[in-house]
Structure 1
Amino acid sequence: MLQVVAIREQFESYVEGLNKRGIQNASDILNELLKIDDQRKSTQQSLEEILSESNQSAKIIGQLLKEGKKEEAESAKAKTSELKQQSKALGESLSALEEELKSKLYNVPNIPHSSVPAGKNAEDNEVVKLEDSSIPQLNEGAKPHWDLIEEYDIIDFGLGNKITGAGFPVYKKEGARMVRAMINYFLDQALEAGYQEVQPPILINEDSGYGTGQLPDKEGQMYQAMDTNMYLIPTAEVPITNLYRDVIIEENQLPVKNVGYTPCFRREAGSWGSHVRGLNRLHQFDKVEIVQVTTPDKSYETLEQMVGHVEKLVASLGLPYRILRLCGGDMGFTSALTYDFEVYSAAQQKWLEVSSVSNFETYQANRLKLRIKDKNGKKVLAHTLNGSALAIPRILAAILENNQTESEIHIPQVLHRYTGFESIKK
């Protein structure tokens, strides 16, 4: 969440940033936050004065009793009792103001980086790189992946629907081996890049949801475990980043680099149309996630490194791709700058999003109370970043479609040692 002190210091630029997101009443929203904070500070000051006066009065009572001045001591006791009542009321008011301020801050999105273009939706995103030379010319009669998986009998949506419901496929035979192969390949590539592997829980509590910004913004997109305050994770970003909630990291231990594989669960909207067919949109899918924690002065250099890592993965699979800088209106609630990767699906003749790489600056760290202590003992909020490296379903869809022939589907060479086969045959 935003820091009130930063809102005061950079008010106009914050208004401009929220305008990029399409929030037109940004000035009113921020002024309301500052007004509540002013009330909070005034109440806190009054409370401190009352407590100080109460302490002094308590000391006087003892002295008066020693001197035998009982009437004056009783008067002082009455005053002390009155001060305690006042301090209790002020304490309750202070707690209420602090809770109100935090609640409102939770509902204000992050401020976009200066390089983020203004815009309302995906049509306003900026293409920063296009690699389309590898778009294949498919044979006449080439099929989209939802037909191919039936023809080759490698993924079964009917079985998944019987077991659970729509959007929960069953991978089998070469399909299951492809999923496992890609997960292992993506993990191994991250390990070679210096990431430390973790395997986090796939259920999170409310504190974790608030820590990374899924709550209170995305309750409707997450599955909640019945009669509990726990949620199935929408991405490994959530549990991995929450490893560092309420943690102070020594500067010489940075950067923190973690990678983890998890299944992910999302209550995505949509039930028909090509954009949700097959593997294009699922309620459960597998993904490898990279997460970094670093210092504010190095986070954008780190972001470029993470983008480079994801680009290397996509290119190694031989897939046409493009990199987009998201506009303010299409960017995630917690992000300051996001790059999306899309691969071209030749049979569908459309671009499919397969990764988002984001810098959250201090937005998550402020919620998490994640701080860095430098060599002089000074503590500052960390910067957090994450990226999909990569999400499996749409990558698999593009591989199946782009590499199909009349009799088989070729597998990218980098996966051969993981799959144990070079093609999927009819």
Structure 2
Amino acid sequence: MLTLKYITENTEDVIRRLSKKHFDGTAIVAQVLELDALRKSTQNQLDNISAEMNAISKEIGKLFQQGKQEEANEAKAKTSELKDSIKLLGDQLNDVEQKLQELLVQIPNLPHESVPEGKHAEDNLIEKEGGKVPQLSSDALPHWELAKKYDLIDFELGVKITGAGFPVYKGKGARLQRALISFFLDSARDAGYLEIQPPYLVNSASGYGTGQLPDKEGQMYHCTEDDLYLIPTAEVPVTNIYRDVILNEKDLPIKNTAYSACFRREAGSYGKDVRGLNRLHQFDKVEIVRIDKPEHSYESLKEMVDYVQTLVEKLELPWRILRLCGGDMSFTSALTFDFEVYSAAQQRWLEVSSVSNFESYQANRLKCRYKDGDKKTQLCHTLNGSALALPRILAALLENNQTAEGIRIPKALVPYTGFEIID
């Protein structure tokens, strides 16, 4: 979340930049400023009364020693009154701080100045593109038909076991999934990322720390009896490793990678664009996470984008990178680049990765900090990216590589699959 200090010192700038995300911050920022003024006033009264009580308390002993019993008892009565006032003001302060916190978590992160104007995905800017779109035969099949033809994925069986959006991978389909996970993890380790194997369930403090709560509570699977949430991405548990931690400047940037299953309710998703693997409730993904110094975080973001580009190139997929406009960005992001690969059979672009810099927004919620060269404690910047999400990568691989002989496996994956073609 945004810091109170930044909001109070840059009020007009905050409102202006929030408008790029099509968020009218005028009213809520005014409420924040009003509550902050009340908080300061209440804290000031509390400090003054506490100081007065401490001073009187010190005098009580002296009065008793001097035999001034009546004055000492009057002083004791006064401290009792002050204690009541302190409790009342303390309760008022806690109430104000709670209301202030409730408002602050409703304010999105500020978009970076380089974020383009726009409301919808159509307004995103194409930064870069590469790869060659394959020319398929007229009888080319979409991946859900290929999955049935070659017995790779059983969508109906998933519906029987769980429900829609929970496919069952079989045979070479399962092996291809495992190959992609291993390829992505090995590539990340080669790029200097430390592999983490995180839990798939997190507590509400973790969801709050990375910004999924309260913003996306309705999109997360919630185990109500234990008050735990199934993770929507490995970003949540991995970034929360650094919650309430003060890091050393020399250890930054920290680079982690993790494979996990991901769980998203995707409420309201339906239609032809969610067929097959296009949108699932459970899917596999390899994530990369960085914790960095503010002055280096945008260099880290570029490195992460360049790294994801190498993955889609090695998979021989046509790709493009989009700079997201203000209206298409997430609640917590300051700047996001999306990767899309082209699905030749569906004749559409499929999003396979988002790489984002959250600046200090998550770090402030997490209390993730570092000590600089002057031993001053500063908020870190956090970044993360999909490297990569499997379902649409798999969809594009199956569709783009279909031939009369079968489905060709990209060379980079053959050492992991153990086969060159699905026939």
Q: Same fold (TM over 0.5)?
A: yes
- Asked whether the 8 Å contact 1:270–1:276 carries over to 2, the reply is no
SS at match of 2:119: coil
SS at match of 1:375: coil
- Quick one: distance in 2 between partners of 1:125 and 1:94? 44
Give the equivalent residue in structure 2 for 1:249: 247
- Asked whether the 8 Å contact 1:244–1:370 carries over to 2, the reply is yes
Q: Deviations over 1:52-78 (max 9, x none)?
A: 000111111111111111111111111
Task: Kindly provide the amino acid, as one letter, of the partner of residue 4 in structure 1.
Answer: L
Give the equivalent residue in structure 1 for 2:115: 116
Task: Kindly provide the amino acid, as one letter, of the partner of residue 163 in structure 2.
Answer: G
Task: Kindly provide the amino acid, as one letter, of the partner of residue 23 in structure 2.
Answer: I
- C-alpha deviation, 1:249, in angstroms: 0.4
- Quick one: distance in 2 between partners of 1:62 and 1:318? 83
- Asked whether the 8 Å contact 1:121–1:327 carries over to 2, the reply is yes
- Quick one: distance in 1 between partners of 2:334 and 2:22? 15
Give the equivalent residue in structure 2 for 1:145: 143
Find 1:420's aligned residue among 389, 399, 418.
Answer: 418
Give the equivalent residue in structure 2 for 1:375: 373
- C-alpha deviation, 1:287, in angstroms: 0.2
Structure 1 unaligned regions, length at least 5: none
Give the equivalent residue in structure 1 for 2:398: 400
* 1:86-235 correspondence to structure 2 within 5 Å: 86-131=85-130, 133-235=131-233
- Quick one: distance in 1 between partners of 2:62 and 2:268? 76
Q: Deviations over 1:16-46 (max 9, x none)?
A: 111001123x222212111111111111111
- Quick one: distance in 2 between partners of 1:350 and 1:94? 54
Task: Kindly provide the amino acid, as one letter, of the partner of residue 232 in structure 1.
Answer: L
Moved segments of 4+, more than 4 Å: none
- Quick one: distance in 1 between partners of 2:364 and 2:144? 43
- C-alpha deviation, 1:273, in angstroms: 2.1
Task: Kindly provide the amino acid, as one letter, of the partner of residue 65 in structure 1.
Answer: F
- Asked whether the 8 Å contact 1:116–1:325 carries over to 2, the reply is yes
Does residue 293 of structure 2 align to residue 295 of structure 1? yes
Aligned length: 423
RMSD: 0.9
Report the CA distance shift for 1:152/1:62 in structure 2 as closer, same or farther (over 3 A): same
- C-alpha deviation, 1:262, in angstroms: 0.3
- Quick one: distance in 2 between partners of 1:225 and 1:342? 33
Give the equivalent residue in structure 1 for 2:15: 15
Mean CA deviation greater in 118-127 or 337-346: 118-127
- Quick one: distance in 2 between partners of 1:135 and 1:14? 42
Report the CA distance shift for 1:271/1:386 in structure 2 as closer, same or farther (over 3 A): closer
How many percent identity over aligned positions?
A: 61
Does residue 78 of structure 2 align to residue 73 of structure 1? no
Q: Deviations over 1:293-315 (max 9, x none)?
A: 00000000000000001011011
- C-alpha deviation, 1:406, in angstroms: 2.4
TM-score (norm 1): 0.98
- C-alpha deviation, 1:9, in angstroms: 2.0
Find 1:310's aligned residue among 308, 311, 323.
Answer: 308
* 1:324-363 correspondence to structure 2 within 5 Å: 324-363=322-361
- C-alpha deviation, 1:270, in angstroms: 4.3
- Quick one: distance in 1 between partners of 2:279 and 2:145? 16
TM-score (norm 2): 0.99
Task: Kindly provide the amino acid, as one letter, of the partner of residue 362 in structure 2.
Answer: Q
Task: Kindly provide the amino acid, as one letter, of the partner of residue 155 in structure 1.
Answer: I
Give the equivalent residue in structure 2 for 1:366: 364
